[in-house]
A and B are shown apart, each in its own frame.
Chain A
Amino acid sequence: MAYSEKVLEHYNNPKNVGSLDKNSKAVGTALVGSPEHGHSDIMRLQIEVNPVTQVITDARFKTFGCGSAIAASSLVTEWLKGKTIHEALRIDNMDIVEELNLPPVKLHCSVLAEEAIKAAVNNYRYKNGLEALVLEEEEEEYEEEEEESESAFH
């Protein structure tokens, strides 16, 4: 399988590798992709948030994974900077798939990056005494539909 130019570019020159002070109240940290849950990739994503404007001023990552996972992490750190945390939550995994031209077998890398964003935002909110934000997911509907169509085959 050949990698897209954009994946190669992020892999060869990853943006925003590194760490932020995880003890700072302004920093939200996510560590997603537990190996026990069958993931082959592990991402650590950190964001630094301006408490007044809620704008993400810095983002850093470290990722254990394939080239697509590294590229997805690098890409979202670029996207996150300058966005408010509410805007950040609207980043959908399919945006990542489109931007990096990921093949279907690499969808899981984009899903993990989306999960990392949500976990980092909510870690920041938790630290600052705010409740977790959950965006409504359209996926549940799909799941129901799938179940129905599956049962039709039985």
Chain B
Amino acid sequence: MLKLPIYLDNNATTPCDPRVVEAMLPYFTETFGNAASRNHPFGWAAEEAVDFAREQVAKLIGADPKEIIFPSGATESDNLALKGVFEMYAAKGNHIITTATEHKAVLDTCKHLEKQGARVTYLGVNSEGFIDLKELEAAITPATIMVAVIYANNEIGVINPMRDISAITRRHGVLLMTDATQAVGKIPVDVNKDGIDLMAFSAHKMYGPKGVGALYVRRKSPRVKVTAQLDGGGHERGMRSGTLNVPGIVGFGKACEICQQEMEEDGKHLQILRDKLEKALLQLEESYLNGAPNQRLPHVSNISFKYVEGEGLLMGFNKSIALSSGSACTSASLEPSYVLKALGLGDDLAHSSLRFGLGRFTTEEQINYTIQAVTDAVNRLRAISPLWEMFKDGIDLDTIQWAH
């Protein structure tokens, strides 16, 4: 029996894997110590648990456990990486290069740094969602301290060529920072092979708990330092004060271990389901895939259904299927997704987009239901869309005389 509602918003957050919850439970009640309490068994047990989790997390990304610190999530990690490097490397320069399709945690932090005297270059992307590597290299100046490029995009799932990018940053002696929130645990990520110097990611996007994330900070060639953004007890080697979230960190470690073991199998399963969904929905007239079709996370699909508005479309099935739209009918600005706009989509297509985010627990039965429900809703809304009628009558919408 199909259980409703179906969850297809796994880029927003994932459910905790039951194995993760099981690993966490003792750390709320029995092993509740403060990992910084050095003088008694309660503290020692908590510290041991954190050390073990730090190894699990480090192993998943090919890092040394000493290179992992545990902030509250990817947003805090992005803030710490960008602000921390900007302050620490002020003597070297004030220029940061990033891209137009970063997560807001990176873009808004860069905007903040601009007010503090940073110069930030925002690289545009092509219609598939990729930056031009020649443009990146040309943007590097002697004052450039860091390049920040998202590993895999949260809206369209496009995976950036991190190795090609790091070849450039290495050549110029510039740090490479990446928000890898959507990539870690889903596809192989190796900080050494990928040439990454700082990397932010989060537990709750990979079947771990909310409220804990990681920042990878390289210790060797080069040794990277960040200025702490929270003052206090000097936890996490001085880079992030604050009592460690021991149950969260334990769960994060377990989530990383499971991902490491099951990533390959999960990825294959997800890609089969995603491709089935995508193929069926792209059969609909005037539907378009957003972002590069191939270099993409296996569980994400972003599709525009032209001539229907995304939020209106969601309403057709949002009691039975949970997913996101690139439309912004509710936001104050009424501006649609800036990521889709950066790909060069017009407002019409950006407003018409849906993001499908499959996950470890998605079934074929759920995908079959979704194909039917979305197809029905698109057809129903097109029947009441004036734009669809004009399209069918062969009227060029660009020539319409609007009332005002």
**Chain B interfacial positions (CB closer than 8 Å to A):** 307-309, 311-312, 315, 327-332, 334-336, 346-348, 351, 383-389, 400, 402-404
CA distance A44 to B403 in the complex (A): 10
In this complex, how many residues of chain A approach chain B with their Cβ under 8 Å: the count is: 36
Chain B residues, CB < 8 A from A50: none
**Chain A interfacial positions (CB closer than 8 Å to B):** 1, 3, 11, 14, 17, 19, 30-44, 61-70, 105-106, 108, 115, 119
Secondary structure of the A side of the interface? mixed
Given contacts A32-B403, A65-B309, A67-B312, is CB(A44)–CB(B330) below 8 Å? no
Could you tell me the distance in whole angstroms from the C-beta of A154 to the nearest C-beta in chain B? Answer: 20
**24 CB-based A-B contacts, threshold 8 Å:** A11-B315, A17-B384, A32-B402, A32-B404, A33-B402, A35-B346, A37-B404, A40-B327, A40-B334, A40-B347, A40-B351, A41-B309, A61-B384, A62-B385, A62-B389, A63-B385, A64-B312, A65-B312, A65-B329, A66-B309, A66-B315, A66-B330, A105-B332, A106-B329
Chain B residues, CB < 8 A from A65: 309, 312, 329
CA distance A19 to B311 in the complex (A): 24
Could you tell me the distance in whole angstroms from the C-beta of A24 to the nearest C-beta in chain B? Answer: 17
Could you tell me the distance in whole angstroms from the C-beta of B320 to the nearest C-beta in chain A? Answer: 13
- What 9 pairs across the A-B complex have the smallest Cβ distances? A34-B402, A44-B386, A66-B329, A67-B315, A62-B386, A66-B311, A119-B403, A66-B312, A64-B385
CA distance A116 to B10 in the complex (A): 39
CB pair A66 B327 closer than 8 Å = yes
Could you tell me the distance in whole angstroms from the C-beta of B388 to the nearest C-beta in chain A? Answer: 8
Q: 17 extra interchain contacts, Cβ-Cβ under 8 A, other than A33-B402, A62-B384?
A: A11-B312, A31-B386, A34-B402, A35-B347, A37-B402, A38-B334, A40-B309, A42-B387, A44-B386, A64-B307, A64-B308, A64-B387, A66-B311, A66-B315, A67-B311, A108-B334, A115-B404
CA distance A64 to B348 in the complex (A): 10
Could you tell me the distance in whole angstroms from the C-beta of A102 to the nearest C-beta in chain B? Answer: 11
CA distance A1 to B336 in the complex (A): 18
